[in-house]
Amino acid sequence: MNINLAARPPFNLHSVIFSHGWHQMEPFRVEADGKLFSTVTRISNGKVIELVIREAPGGVDVEIADPVTEEEQSEIAQIVTWMLGLDQDFSNFYALAREEPKLRSAALQAKGRILRSPNLFDDILKTILTTNTLWAATKRMNKNLIDQFGERLPADPARHAFPTPDRLAETDEATLRSATRLGYRAPYVLSLARRVASGEREIESLKGCDLPTPELRKRLLEIKGVGPYAAANLLMLLGRYDAIPVDSWAMKMVSNEWHNGAPVGRAEVDAAFSRWGDWKGLAYWLWEWNR
């Protein structure tokens, strides 16, 4: 079964997939040098499916191995549209970026869309896994989480969907720590999963909400394990580009670019991109740094 989805032009699947490190995190999988992209997800009726995505004229083709109902097709279309930001409009950003040599390639290659997971829950957990650790450990924790708690893809039991809040809520902290090596992050992950599973906390509606960015940031900061860096990262994933996810790498890059290697802090990183206003997070993200 194939579903064709249109994207707001300009669109480049390769630029979305490689927009950040998420493509290296299971259940995402990239093949054929970025021409083929797939993920495994669990849709609302409980069915676990693989979505194989290819660029097509005007958008993407989504291939699903099994027959799907009209209702399922509609849900899959929504999931893929969200994951790839097919409906996002970057024309204002590109108009500015064309005037900046360090961002010109962003406009030429239709960069700007940032790869998202099917659910915001998944992206919050993955973001927590990126904090205070090395990338290799983040990938390992994510893989452990999926292997231990993700539902299997019936056609290929080696592949799993990202764990649902319900499934994670069933476990306990000690099991989570030992099975996934999450360390001190385990209680944060468990707390969020339990609150979402119980209905105490609703997070998926934040995806399309029209809250002002400061209020949305406040909501994200209420989640244990989400601090300033993680909140800014999540705001980018939510399509809000007026915050910079300042981490140690950002400070190092800004130091090299504008301060001759002298130590800098959050304020200097913000100041470096302040002229980009509502697009400063994206300008930072796509900047071609002096190495």
Q: Which positions lie near DNA, rule CB under 7 A?
A: 131-134, 136-137, 140, 177, 181-184, 188, 221, 223-231, 247-249
The residue (of 119 and 130) whose beta carbon lies closer to DNA is: 130
Residues in CB range of 143: below 8 A, 6 or more apart: 26
Q: Closest distance between DNA and the C-beta of residue 234, in Å? A: 9
Q: How many CB atoms lie within 10 A of CB 230?
A: 21
* Residue 204 Cβ vs DNA, minimum distance, rounded to whole Å: 20
Least separation, in Å, of the C-beta of 136 and DNA?
Answer: 5
- As measured in angstroms, the least distance from the Cβ of 106 to DNA is 23
Nearest approach, Cβ of residue 289 and DNA (Å): 15
Nearest to 25 by CA among 88, 115, 86: 115
Q: Which is nearer to DNA, 64 or 137 (CB)?
A: 137
Count of beta carbons in the 10 Å neighbourhood of residue 204:
10
- The first and second tokens of residue 289, run together, are 């740094």
Which of 30, 47, 27, 31 is closest to 39 using CA atoms?
27
**How far apart (Å, rounded) are the C-alpha atoms in residues 157 and 221?**
36
CA 86 to chain centre: 14
Pick between residue 34 and residue 228 the one whose CB is nearest to DNA: 228
Contacts for 168 with CB less than 8 Å, ≥ 6 apart? 149, 176, 189, 190, 193, 194, 197
15 vs 117, which CB is nearer to DNA?
Answer: 117
Nearer to DNA, 83 or 124 (CB): 124
